[in-house]
Amino acid sequence: MKFLAEIEILPKKGLLDPQGKAVTQSMPRIGINSISEVRVGRFITLDIEASDAQIAEETAHTAAKKLLANLIMEDYRVRISEA
């Protein structure tokens, strides 16, 4: 079966996020005053061929831990759906 893995990677809470800070500070300049914090991350999709959703999820976690995310500075979330 084919599965779609969606991996969201964001800086850990409490760590400096220069891109997020720049966006947050720019919001009032475009007339948006109600936003107090922005965090900027990455969104990655993977097409995974696996026998079931659990194996696809394990594959996505392995990819995130070993290659896609810097676990010292970033957290990640995986969502799996049938493609």
Phi, psi (rounded to 5 degrees) for 82: -70, 135
Range of the domain at 76: 2-82
Q: Rounded to two decimals, what is the model's pTM?
A: 0.89
Give 29's pLDDT tier (boundaries 50, 70, 90): very high
Strand ranges across the sheet with 2-11: 42-49, 2-11, 74-82
Mean pLDDT within 73-78:
97
Q: What is the CATH number of the domain that holds 75?
A: 3.30.1280.10
Mean pLDDT within 38-47:
97
What pLDDT does 34 receive? 96
Tally of domains in the chain: 1
Give 35's pLDDT tier (boundaries 50, 70, 90): very high
